[in-house]
Amino acid sequence: MTTNIPTVDPATSGGVELRKEPSYLRVSSGLWSWLGTLDHKRIGLMYLVGVTAAFLVGGALAFLVRLHLWTPDGALFEPATYNQVFTLHGVFMVFIFIIPAIPASLGNFVLPLMLGAPDVALPRLNLASFYLWCTGTILAIYSIINGAVDTGWTFYTPYSLETGTAVVSMGLGVFVLGFSSIFTGLNFIVTIHKMRARGQTWFKMPLFCWAIYATSVLQVLATPVLGVTVLLLAFEHIYNIGIFDPQYGGDPVLFQHFFWFYSHPAVYIMILPGMGVISEVISVHSRKPLFGYKLIAFSSISIAVISFLVWGHHMFTSGQSEFVMVAFSFLTMFVAIPTAIKVFSWVATIWGGSVALSAPMLYAIAFLIIFTIGGLTGVFLGTLSVDIHLHDTYFVVAHFHAVMMGSTALAFFAGVHHWWPKMFGVMYNETLAKISAVLILVGFNVTFLPQFEMGSLGMPRRYATYVEEFQIYHQISTVGAAILGIGFALMVGYMLASLAGGRRAKANEWGGVTLDWHTPTPPNLYNFDEEPVMTGDLYDYTSGIPDYGKDAPMDKDELAERQAAEGWNA
């Protein structure tokens, strides 16, 4: 380990404070220092690049879907092509973007910092799961070239057995992506159990850690069932195993059971880390300890457990047993309790706080608004009788986009904006960031509120054409998608611009107090200058905020570079 002990006298460095060690970004360079890294922060950044690219691809596909639906007969594609486009949108967004998005990128970067640890417990497994993610993504891309997939992201049998498209390679891609997710979750559970700082008891962990913990439990327990399901689906194609194929004595509804045993908990794999991010952002930017800390912590765990009891609410029209449906519908209602506890606690945290309407906070507020819409419409859909009417309509589409896109993706952006100065030591243009947050909030609602309406009027999802009555709703929705697209393009633009020449970040940009804000900005290779020990309360803003208002220190090479570039010297 190279240690960069300051040799420049602070008096000759123009008043710039010097770091004890170089940052993780500057400690080594070259392509291999990234591709072969065991550093959780660099792995997190590689994930960040990967999932953002997947999001842009999935988003472009979504925009094509919206453009196609501009006219009742479909403006762009043949119906068969349309099926492939929305399927690929689903697969990219669900398996490649949203499941790894927050845990694997932000979680990887922030979790060890919050625990005061030098790294995750299993760094090599961490890198391996990144390469599994790459392999799964390559298999998915290969499937697109090799005939695409037109089954929807759910691969329901028997259609997925009859279609001539690349279900096997896509299924194997999902299998590999699943193991990437399992290993990330497993790693984080062990990290949280074994790597916490001295003095950091379970109830002195930031709520993001609790959310990641609950998520990881789901990843470890639910994902193997998805693995065996897509494996059996592949066997169904390779040798007609027959389990899901009525022609050979099998039961297609069993496929749906297996699929949703994973995919319902997976909904919480997607949203729980987002809830964790929002807890952190709201606390820091309201300058207040979280209201109901233990309630939020336990609600994460109880959401994880309840999520295993409700998967049948995706199957109310599948022909499963009526008795089981009643049980599933009843159990689904219980999800609303811990979810509402979280929402009320966040609102109560903001109440009376010293709220800074910074860019991350605007994203968090947008999250609160849209998540409430998504959550409440979920109660409608969990109600058996109502779902019979709304099943497979645009109401469902709008509901899960409110939860996935409007909540998880917005929480992801809130988190990226929140930790960006910690990650790179630079700040983006906050004015543009606020404009982008507003554009996305407006664009989202213009896109999806008409979908709630036309869904309740009976517009089915996944149709390439529709009757003329729905055209106005579809057109408003497409305009909204364009607004969303402008918001995202703007975001990518100012984020990249900040890397090229953004303002230098403060040592503690937002004034956070959890251990992640105790590291140098950006952190050292092993994160902390000195091993942290927690003594005080978590979220205690009254007894001083570390390094608040100070400039981030530089190491001497960085200082020399800046002096050369800007032409000043002591």
Partner 1 sequence: MSDHSTHGAHGHDEVVVDHTHHAHPASAGLFFAIYAALLFFTFLTVAIAEPVSGLHLGSASMFIAMLVASVKASLVMAVFMHLKWDTAMNNIAFLGSLIFLSLLFLFTISDVATRGQADPAASTPAEYQQPVFHEYEHKGGH
Partner 2 sequence: MSGHAKVVTPTPDGGFATHEVAHHFKTAEQEYQSGKLAFWLFLATEVMLFGGLFAAYIIYHDVYPETFVAGGSTLNWKLGALNTVFLLTSSWTMAMGVRASQLSQKKALVGYLVVTWLFAAGFMVVKYFEYSGKLSEGVGPGYWFNPVPGSHYAEVLEGLPFPNLFFALYFTMTGIHGIHVLVGMILIGWLIVRAQKGHFHSGFYLPVDLIGLYWHVVDVIWIFLFPLLYLVP
Task: Tell how far CA 396 is from the center of its chain.
Answer: 20
Q: Does 432 bind partner 1 (CB under 8 A)?
A: no
Contact call for residue 128 and partner 2 (CB under 8 A): no
* Residues 456-515 within binding reach of partner 2 (CB under 8 A): none
Region of 76-84, 121-129, 130-138, 276-284 interacting with partner 2 (CB under 8 A): 121-129
Residue from 53, 67, 134, 254 touching partner 2 (CB under 8 A): that is 254
293's tokens: 């800390």
322 contacts partner 1 (rule: CB under 8 A): yes
Please give the biggest Cα pair distance in the chain.
83
Among 145, 530, 566, 568, binds partner 2 (CB under 8 A): 530
Amino acid at 237: H
Q: Is 415 in the site for partner 2 (CB under 8 A)?
A: no
Give me the DSSP letters along 97-163.
IIHHIIIIIIIHHHHHHHTT-SS-S-HHHHHHHHHHHHHHHHHHHHHHHTT---S-TT--TTHHHH-
Structure tokens belonging to residue 163: 């279609």
324 binds, among partner 2, partner 1, none (CB under 5 to 8 A by kind): partner 1
Which stretch in 102-110, 342-350, 504-512, 540-548 sits in contact with partner 1 by CB under 8 A? 540-548
Pairs from 253-256 (Cβ < 8 Å, separation ≥ 24): 253/315, 253/318, 253/319, 253/320, 255/155, 255/156, 255/157, 255/229, 256/156, 256/314, 256/315, 256/318, 256/320
Q: Which is nearer to partner 2, 181 or 283 (CB)?
A: 181
Query: For partner 2, what does the binding mask look like between residues 135 and 154, x meaning CB under 8 A?
Result: --------------------
x-marked contacts with partner 1 along 288-317 as a string, rule CB under 8 A: --------------------xx-xx-----
**CB 344, CB 380: distance < 8 Å:** no
Residue 155 CA: distances (Å) to CA of 9, 160, 162, 242, 489: 64, 6, 11, 16, 31
Out of 10, 79, 352, 536, the residue judged to bind partner 1 by CB under 8 A:
536
531 is a contact residue toward partner 2 (CB under 8 A): yes
Cβ-count burial 446-470 (b if 16+ within 10 Å, e if not):
bbbbbbbbbbbeebebebbebeeeb
Best CA proximity match to 268, nearest among 276, 259, 278, 258: 276
Alpha helices in 287-321 (DSSP H): 293-306
Should residue 232 be labelled a site residue for partner 2 when binding is judged by CB under 8 A?
yes
- If one asks whether residue 182 binds partner 2 (CB under 8 A), the answer comes out as yes
Q: 136, 135, 130: which is closest to 107 by C-alpha?
A: 130
- Looking up tokens 């960031």, which residue turns up? 433
Return the closest-CA partner of residue 224 out of 186, 253, 273. Answer: 186
Question: Of 8, 53, 141, 225, which one interacts with partner 2 (CB under 8 A)?
Answer: 225
180: CB partners within 8 A, 6+ apart = 100, 104, 129, 130, 132, 133, 136
Read off the DSSP letter of residue 554.
B
Q: Report if residue 178 touches partner 1, rule: CB under 8 A.
A: no
Rounded-to-integer distance, Cα 150 and Cα 46, Å: 30
Q: Measured from the CB atom, is 245 or 547 closer to partner 2?
A: 245
Tell which positions 232-291 bind partner 1, by CB under 8 A.
Answer: 251, 253-254, 257-258, 261
**Contacts of partner 2 in 184-203 (CB under 8 A):** 186-187, 189-190, 193-195
Among 2, 323, 501, 566, binds partner 1 (CB under 8 A): 323
Q: Does 198 bind partner 1 (CB under 8 A)?
A: yes
Q: Write out the binding residues for partner 2, residues 377-406 only, by CB under 8 A.
A: none
Stretch that binds partner 2, among 59-67, 79-87, 116-124, 320-328 (CB under 8 A): 116-124
Q: Which of these segments, 240-248, 363-371, 392-400, 411-419, binds partner 2 (CB under 8 A)?
A: 240-248
**Among partner 1, partner 2, none, partner that 121 touches (CB below 5 to 8 angstroms by kind):** partner 2
Q: Which of 131, 202, 248, 351 binds partner 2 (CB under 8 A)?
A: 248
For residue 299, give the 3-state DSSP assignment: helix
Chosen from partner 2, partner 1, none, partner binding at 42 (C-beta under 5 to 8 Å by type): none
Select 221 or 340, whichever has its Cβ closest to partner 1: 221
In 3D, which of 209, 339, 354, 203 has the Cα closest to residue 287? Answer: 354
| Residues at the contact surface with partner 2, assessed by CB under 8 A | 1, 117-123, 125, 182, 186-187, 189-190, 193-195, 220-225, 227-229, 232, 235, 238-243, 248-251, 254, 258, 526, 528-531
